[in-house]
Amino acid sequence: MSAEDSVYTEGRIQRHLAENPDTAELGVRAALHAGAVYLSGDVASEQRRRRVVHAVQVLLPDLQVHDELQVTCADPPKDRGGAAVIRIAAVGDVHLGPDACGHLRPALEKLPDVADVLLLAGDLTRHGSVEEARCAVAEFRDLGLPVVAVLGNHDYHCDQQDAVAGMLETAGIRVLEGDAVLLDVAGQRLAVAGVKGFGGGFAGRCGSDFGEPQMKAFVHHTKQTAAWLGDALDAVDGDVRVALTHYSPVADTLAGEPLEIYPFLGSYLLAEAIDGRRVDLAVHGHAHAGTEKGVTAGGTRVRNVAQPVLRRAYAVYCLGVEDDGGVD
């Protein structure tokens, strides 16, 4: 098979996996080598792994299929040591517009099989227009599980953020901005506190509210959003608590982004709000070229779920698993 034919076949496999309703996987990668197909990437369960392999075997019966897929959150038992496992699906920065309506829906409709709740970490639209918000509503409504969101900077661009949030809320998608929601999930109380957050930078390399009024206003907003997150966490208690933001609370998950733009991607003040309370997981987006996994100074696990980082429709994280503190 020529190099050109290999590239065509690899693309054909990935399109098939994305469009096939039995798989609907956007993040699986296929590579052809020595007459065999090598599958890599992350899937949310063993069942989805088997579906992906079978779909490729059916599509290309003459080629051997090598399964190198990783299960990010295997379907857990209902109860382990008396504590139920909560499966949290999350994604951000999907940047939906009219030409992308329905792109994620086939994968999302499988969510109840692998997750108990979906968290959306902002930038659901490209420019924050009402037209784009209709696409987001169509994509994320009526999925058969709770959906909780924060808005991102793109969702504010047209100054229609209130309308965007209202449309999502009307569709049953809870939008947080300095508040929290308590959900009954797997027999446990899951508390999600959310805020968009803002930039400002990280310890030793951050802005200060000194000098021009514009700079003072910038840093004041950062401090205000961090305080809102802290207040939201204080206002709600649960067996498991998650902080949901768009901007990052740590520099760890920005690795891969230019250092020069770190101050515009997040703030250590968000991490301080998280570390001052009991939080089991922090989820954010915004850093498209960043890294998925990080941790706050206080030891809270942080996950960057921007879709360009995940390279799939969503990631699933398990809370309550004893193996590694609960997060895959």
Burial class for 180, CB neighbours closer than 10 Å (0-12, 13-18, 19+): buried
Identity of the residue numbered 3: A
Q: Are both 47 and 151 inside the same structural domain?
A: no
| Region of poorest pLDDT, from 151-155, 206-210, 237-241 | 206-210
Given 42, 71, 100, the domain boundary residue is 71
Answer yes or no: is 124 within a domain. Answer: yes
Number of H helices, E strands in the chain: 9, 16
What CATH number is attached to the domain comprising 266?
A: 3.60.21.10
Identity of the residue numbered 1: M
Strand partners, 206: 201
SS (H, E, C) 17-64: HHHCCCCCCCCCEEEEECCEEEEEEEECCHHHHHHHHHHHHHHCCCCE
pLDDT band at 328 (very low <50, low <70, confident <90, very high): low
- Per cent of the chain over pLDDT 70 is 93
- Exposure string of 226-263, with b = 16+ CB inside 10 Å and e = fewer, is bebbbebbeeeebbbbbbbbbbbbbbbbbbebeeeebb
| Mean pLDDT to the nearest integer, 267-277 | 96
Q: Are both 172 and 296 inside the same structural domain?
A: yes
What CATH number is attached to the domain comprising 13?
A: 3.30.1340.30
3-class DSSP assignment, residue 215:
helix
Nearest Cα residue to 281 out of 235, 317, 324: 317
Q: Is the pLDDT of residue 84 over 90?
A: no
Nearest Cα residue to 305 out of 246, 218, 242: 246
Q: Are both 134 and 238 inside the same structural domain?
A: yes
Q: Is the pLDDT of residue 130 over 50?
A: yes
| Mean pLDDT to the nearest integer, 145-165 | 98
Give the integer Cα–Cα distance in Å for 134 and 97. Answer: 9
Q: Are both 151 and 43 inside the same structural domain?
A: no
Answer yes or no: is 12 within a domain. Answer: yes
Q: Is the pLDDT of residue 33 over 50?
A: yes
Given 36, 71, 106, the domain boundary residue is 71
- Per cent of the chain over pLDDT 90 is 68
